Amino acid sequence: MTSSPLHRLSALGQSVWIDALSRDSIHGGQLAALIDHDAVVGATSNPSIFQKAFAEGDAYDQQLRELGDATDVNAAFWALATRDIQDACDLLRPVWDGGGGRDGYVSLEVDPGLAYDTLATAQQARRIHDDVDRPNLMVKIPATKPGLAAIEDSTAAGISINVTLIFSLRRYEEVVESYLRGLERLVAEGGDPAGIASVASFFVSRIDTEADRRLDEIGGPERLKGRLAIANARLAYQHYKRAFTGERWEYLTNKGATPQRVLWASTSVKNPAYRDTMYVEELAGPDTVDTMPLETVRAFQDHGRPTPRLELELDGARRVIDELEAAGVSYDEVTDTLEREGVEKFATAFDELLEGLREKREATAGA
């Protein structure tokens, strides 16, 4: 078992998290099997994941009936989601305990409709933290400009944060700075940073999808397709290594703080012409996290090649961005578009989730 591709990937220092969660997977043994057999040591959720979970089967029907019509549909969602996250946290708690809080986390996202409201995001992050009440919870906050202050405030309040929807290197640098300032405030106020952790989630495959689309529009060179996402991630990792060294970081680490690891999200390929394990293989390296959908877990276990490639071709990574710019594909336009569309997609998914939940509750009441 320990010789499986995902176990060998873990041995390189990369933690495997699953980008899927449902009540059936938690109580039906699927998540436990992933932990036991596939080296999975964490889980994440988002509105799209919950939308799919609620739509399938009857696992949520009994709790919906218990909540009754007096509970508005938004509150009903948070009640359902909170129970799932609590149960998943409990299932992963031995991982968290055994690894000293390095892994074993489960993430729950704030309402994406709050992505441009700093105060509301920070307030909801605190409510989620208090309601779930598990030490291995991470609250997901989008890396919008207003989200940065909420990330800092939440970190200063002792809340573990999964910073989501990161696309650009500039924004990533701001995310790291928000984490560091939050830790410094926490320490200054007498708090213990040893009890919290954070990850910075870079969305990978969407970058190539958008860059490739723009190359097609202008008839750009084929050799530049499928290269920006990996180049971007490799440059981000170099910033991670620089940010978490030096006198400023040494002070925090002496107080018990842990680095905000880079997490590779959206690592399933969107273009069928690309190898289905391409992003996992090319971004394998130490002190990182890869959150994979179930199909990518299965593909990598079947034919993944776990070798440390994250720090290869670093000079070429910067050159890829320059060559795309020269070809007419703006890096800033790609990443700005993806951030805006990412927030919109999650907000739409959340609205659709609530509407589906409303319909399900009506059907459950009439059953």
Confidence of residue 367 (pLDDT cuts 50, 70, 90): low
Residues serving a catalytic function are 140
Burial group, residue 332, by CB count within 10 angstroms (0-12, 13-18, 19+): exposed
Asked whether 156 and 149 are in contact (CB, 8 A), the reply is no
What pLDDT is attached to residue 195? 92
Phi, psi (rounded to 5 degrees) for 203: -85, 125
Q: Is the pLDDT of residue 55 over 90?
A: no
Closest C-alpha to 340, from 216, 206, 154, 239: 206
What pLDDT is attached to residue 42? 98
Burial 55-77 (b: 16+ CB within 10 A, else e): eeeebbeeebeebeeeeebeebb
169-173 long-range contacts, CB within 8 A, separation 24+: 169/232, 169/235, 169/236, 169/239, 171/143, 171/335, 171/339, 172/143, 172/200, 172/202, 172/236, 172/239, 173/239, 173/243
Q: For residue 108, give the 3-state DSSP assignment.
A: strand
Confidence of residue 48 (pLDDT cuts 50, 70, 90): confident
Burial group, residue 8, by CB count within 10 angstroms (0-12, 13-18, 19+): middle
Residue 267, CA distances (Å) to 144, 157, 170 in order: 21, 31, 21
Q: What is the mean pLDDT of residues 75-88?
A: 96
Q: Which of 2-11, 258-267, 333-342 has the lowest mean pLDDT?
A: 2-11
Place of tokens 């057999």: 37
Helix-helix angle 145-156:118-132, to 10 degrees: 40
Angle at 317 between CA 249 and CA 223, to 5 degrees: 160
Asked whether 294 and 18 are in contact (CB, 8 A), the reply is yes
Burial group, residue 36, by CB count within 10 angstroms (0-12, 13-18, 19+): exposed
Place of tokens 């509407």: 355
List the domains of the chain with CATH numbers: 5-17+103-345 (3.20.20.70)
Mean pLDDT, rounded, of the chain: 95
Closest C-alpha to 49, from 172, 159, 119, 140: 140
292-320 per-position pLDDT tens digit: 999 999 999 999 999 999 999 999 999 99
Closest C-alpha to 5, from 18, 19, 21, 16: 16
Percent of the chain residues topping a pLDDT of 70: 99
Q: What is the mean pLDDT of residues 7-27?
A: 96
Confidence of residue 360 (pLDDT cuts 50, 70, 90): confident
Percent of the chain residues topping a pLDDT of 90: 90
Q: Is the pLDDT of residue 364 over 80?
A: no
Place of tokens 């394990």: 277
223-261 per-position pLDDT tens digit: 999 999 999 999 999 999 999 999 999 999 999 999 999
Integer distance in angstroms from the first to the last C-alpha of the chain? 45
Q: Which of 66-75, 134-143, 148-157, 321-330 has the lowest mean pLDDT?
A: 66-75
Closest C-alpha to 145, from 301, 343, 2, 290: 343
Contacts of 118 (CB under 8 A, 6+ apart): 146, 147, 149, 150, 153
What is the reported pTM?
0.96
Q: For residue 114, give the 3-state DSSP assignment.
A: helix
What pLDDT is attached to residue 2? 58
